[in-house]
Amino acid sequence: MKIRTLFYLGAVIITMMLASCSKYSGFTKSDSGIYYKFYVENKDSLKPVEGSILTMNMIYRMEIGGKDSILFNSADMPRAFEINLAKSEFKGDIYEAFSMLHKGDSATFIINANDFFTKTAKYPTLPEGLDSTSMLYFDVKLLNAETMEERQKAEAQKAEKLKNEEVGKIQSYLTTNNVTTAPTASGIYIITQNAGSGRGIQKADFVKINLTVTAIDGKKIFSTLDNDRPITFEFGQPFDTKGFEEAVATMKKGSKATVVVPSVMGFGERGKKDMSGQDIVSPFSPIVYEIEVLDLKTKTEHEKAMKEEEENAKKAASEAMGKEPALIEKYVKDNKITAKPGASGIYYIEKVKGKGALASSGKKVKVHYTGKLLNGKVFDSSLERKPSTPFEFTIGKGEVIPGWDEGISMMSAGGKATLIIPSKMGYGERGTGADIPAYSPLVFDVELISISDK
């Protein structure tokens, strides 16, 4: 975790000039060279020690031409911002700044950019556009500081509390929802809405389901209904919890049921965490499944269906390949586009002309984009993410589809354009995912945010 978020954010300013100042009104300079200003200072409260886990609100910014440019705001993150307080590597580094805080303190620290990038972030050289006088600003409020031992103790206490509450939570759910179904021997409750018909599900069957998973309090964890993408899995192979498997074994094609699963048959005393270590399911937490069996096939039937699906996909791809030129021509005509395609077939429609040099091969670029099919369906957009973050790649390195390498290289920083990309310069005969079929021409509205060497 060692300040990795800060290192990532630092990369944002590679191409931006930071105005340096010789005076910082209201700030105090420490012996090690850190400029700091406290807005709230709680000298009697807890002060972090080396190795502490710091939870804080933080804005990471710089000043350009006397104006603030905010690069990161922890308020935009879905979870609290945390870092480990590492040992200072040199006098005046960011770790020393954070060690000056007490729990509840609010302050701004001004750190030398050269020291931060070359010493703390271990950049081989100072990013282009910065010099030895450039300064970075960190506005922080320390919400909590705890050692690893304290964190583990708190988590253990939380788990014990959840363990003691579990039976009551299940009983409350059953009462609220008027559930009279008796539990199975393992303790799960299978509340059937539709019994289904035909044979039961057996080992090695391929089962297609819609699945919604919620916490016992109703908080949604996952649902195939969100994107209308049912799941097919081989029954008998590891897939989810023991409670889920026990319930599915009682179902048939067309079956629909709500299943209440105690933690012993769910995710147990460990719960389930995401990649960042945050709880998806807390320890000792019962969960609720909504399961609908849409289809059921033997392994032989499944393999036959897959083969037929593959053949149909090839047929559809062949038809799409033949129709593609006419579809692009119609789109261009309907949208009154006067630009002519390049040798590769890409249409470049400039909306706003950028400034400076073009994004040539080997340059690192940051781009905001919205991708659509010719029918207008949006399949991806950097602007719809929270927080919205430009996509970063290096021109000519094969990190993106060929159409992007070619199209973005026609732009300068600050430019905006629409790219119409034929499938041969996109995802070709394979397509990608469920949203982009084979031989799909694509339309991208793009804005080139910045260009840099690294």
**CATH at 200:** 3.10.50.40
**For residue 110, what are its two tokens?**
């001004």
Task: Point out the catalytic residue in the list 36, 83, 444, 445.
Answer: 444
What pLDDT does residue 8 have?
A: 44
78 and 174 in a common domain? no
What pLDDT does residue 4 have?
A: 44
213 and 124 in a common domain? no
Query: What's the angle, vertex CA 123, arms to CA 119 and CA 129, rounded to 5?
Result: 105
Q: Each residue of 228-258: pLDDT tens digit?
A: 889 999 999 999 999 999 999 999 999 999 9
52 part of a folded domain: yes
Q: Which residue, 146, 178, 209, sits at the end of a domain?
A: 146
Is residue 380 part of the annotated active site? The answer reads: yes
142 and 8 in a common domain? yes
Task: Point out the catalytic residue in the list 7, 380, 393, 435.
Answer: 380
Number of domains in the chain: 3
198 and 128 in a common domain? no
186 and 58 in a common domain? no
Whether residue 83 contacts residue 3, with contact meaning beta carbons closer than 8 Å, is answered with: yes
Task: Point out the catalytic residue in the list 401, 408, 421, 451.
Answer: 401
The helix or strand, by DSSP H or E, that contains position 89, with its residue range, turns out to be none
CA dihedral 166, 168, 170, 175 (to 10 degrees): -170
pLDDT band at 18 (very low <50, low <70, confident <90, very high): very low
185 and 138 in a common domain? no
Q: Which residue, 115, 146, 177, sits at the end of a domain?
A: 146
The mean predicted confidence, pLDDT, of the chain is: 88
Domain that holds residue 327: 323-452
Is residue 369 part of the annotated active site? The answer reads: yes
333 and 422 in a common domain? yes
Is residue 379 part of the annotated active site? The answer reads: yes
| Pairing of the two strands 416-421 and 135-146 | unpaired
Q: Which stretches does DSSP call E strand in 75-196?
A: 81-84, 106-112, 135-146, 189-194
* Residues in CB range of 386: below 8 A, 6 or more apart: 76, 78
Q: What are phi and psi of 380, to 5 degrees?
A: -165, 150
Give just the sign of the alpha carbon dihedral 241, 247, 251, 254.
negative
Give yes or no for residue 421 having a pLDDT over 70: yes
315 part of a folded domain: no
Is residue 444 part of the annotated active site? The answer reads: yes
What pLDDT does residue 17 have?
A: 36
8 and 142 in a common domain? yes
Task: Point out the catalytic residue in the list 27, 38, 173, 379.
Answer: 379
281 part of a folded domain: yes
pTM above 0.75, yes or no: no
Give yes or no for residue 302 having a pLDDT over 90: yes
387 part of a folded domain: yes
Q: Among 64-68, 307-311, 380-384, which is the least confidently predicted range? A: 64-68
Q: Each residue of 305-342: pLDDT tens digit?
A: 999 988 998 898 889 899 999 999 999 999 999 999 99
183 and 269 in a common domain? yes
**For residue 340, what are its two tokens?**
């002519």
142 and 15 in a common domain? yes
DSSP per-residue codes, 8-37: HHHGGGTTS-----S--TT-EE-TTS-EEE
Task: Point out the catalytic residue in the list 123, 244, 348, 369.
Answer: 369
312 part of a folded domain: no
**For residue 208, what are its two tokens?**
């297609």
Is residue 427 part of the annotated active site? The answer reads: yes
17 and 133 in a common domain? yes
What pLDDT does residue 6 have?
A: 46
Q: Which residue, 119, 146, 173, sits at the end of a domain?
A: 146
Q: Each residue of 78-114: pLDDT tens digit?
A: 778 889 999 999 999 999 999 999 999 999 999 988 8
292 and 328 in a common domain? no
Task: Point out the catalytic residue in the list 427, 436, 439, 451.
Answer: 427
241 part of a folded domain: yes
155 part of a folded domain: no
275 part of a folded domain: yes
